[in-house]
Amino acid sequence: MRPYQLTPLGDTAVVVRLGERIDPDTQRQVRLLAQVLDTNPFPGLVEYTPTFTTVTVYYDPLHVRQTQVSTPLREKERMPYERVCRWLQERLEASEEMSLPDPRTVEIPVCYGGDFGPDLAYVAEHNRLSPQEVIDIHASGSYLVYLIGFAPGFPYLGGMSDRIAAPRKDTPRLQIPVGSVGIAGQQTGVYPLETPGGWQLIGRTPLPLFRPHDEQPSLLAEGDTVRFYPITRAEYDAWRQKEGSTR
């Protein structure tokens, strides 16, 4: 287990800092702690929120205070925060013995440019590339799903080439169409719902990433690997028609 830091967040939460950088190893530690909290929650656990480098753990202090423990507590561990920290330390140690499921690889079709990618030309000009070079670089990458957040099913993907990095838009759009593929800084992602957003849009996928009626609504999960591949507008339209006929 790498060094970690526990700090209070108000009187009902603890922030577990597992690293200082966004990298695959830190993301793995975040996932391990999330997994051990799923399989072995401590008394009074309400929920937890994973981020790139931390896991914020929320607890019910009254429940924690009333819970009987099998081993003697030091004086300071009688307070809910200190008791939760002790339990978290135990679970962090337990996570060293755990392994994560093998990552899935999910291929996502993208129709690049045109009306679907209104910012493709900007990303190309910003990086002194042609639009086709941006497409080739984006579609040749292998991306790690660090987080699902912002909107249901929205994946924050790492591993994008610096050659196509681009800043967010100065003024966000009020509506981003479903399936839009965007770039913001050194990250890429896909909008699963129509929402406001400031990412540079380079294409659109017909593949639904958020399926609210499925048992697992989000197509992607933390730890998955994503690969994009180009399709034509005709292929996009045919895919959307097929998706519509199956609903």
Model confidence at 70: pLDDT above 70: no
Sequence-ordered list of residues with C-beta below 8 angstroms from that of 69, at least 6 positions apart, any chain:
83
Read off the DSSP letter of residue 168.
P
C-alpha pair distances (Å), 19 with each of 16, 98, 156: 9, 19, 18
pLDDT at position 244:
66
| Mean pLDDT across the chain | 90
**Span 29-61, pLDDT tens digits:** 999 999 999 999 999 999 999 999 999 999 999
What lies within 8 Å, CB to CB, of 18 at 6+ separation is 2, 4, 26, 29, 30, 33, 53, 54, 55
Question: What is the Cα–Cα distance from 72 to 8, expressed in whole angstroms?
Answer: 23
Cα gap 175→117, rounded to integer Å: 14
Can you give the pTM of this predicted structure?
0.83
pLDDT: is 24 or 228 the higher one? 228
Percent of the chain clearing pLDDT 90 (strictly above): 71
Contact 168, 184 (CB under 8 A): yes
Alpha helices in 44-119 (DSSP H): 61-66, 80-95
Per-residue pLDDT at 112: 98
Cα distances (Å, whole numbers) of residue 159 to 135, 142, 148, 171, 187: 15, 7, 16, 26, 7
Got the DSSP string for 172-217?
-EEEE-TTEEEEEBTEEEE--S-EEE-SEEEEE-SS-SB-TTSSS-
Distance in angstroms (rounded) separating the CA atoms of residues 237 and 217: 23
Mean pLDDT in residue range 8-28: 93
Q: What is the pLDDT of residues 201-228, one digit of tens each?
A: 999 999 999 988 888 889 999 999 999 9
pLDDT of residue 197: 94
Count the neighbouring beta carbons within 10 Å of the beta carbon of residue 217: 13
pLDDT confidence of residue 97: 79
- pLDDT exceeds 80 at position 71: no
Q: What tens digit of pLDDT does each residue of 92-146 get?
A: 988 887 888 888 999 999 999 999 999 999 999 999 999 999 999 999 999 999 9
Structure tokens at 218: 């989000």
- Convert the pLDDT of each residue in 134-188 to its tens digit: 999 999 999 999 989 888 889 999 999 999 999 999 999 999 999 999 999 999 9
Q: Is pLDDT of 76 > 90?
A: no
Contact 127, 134 (CB under 8 A): yes
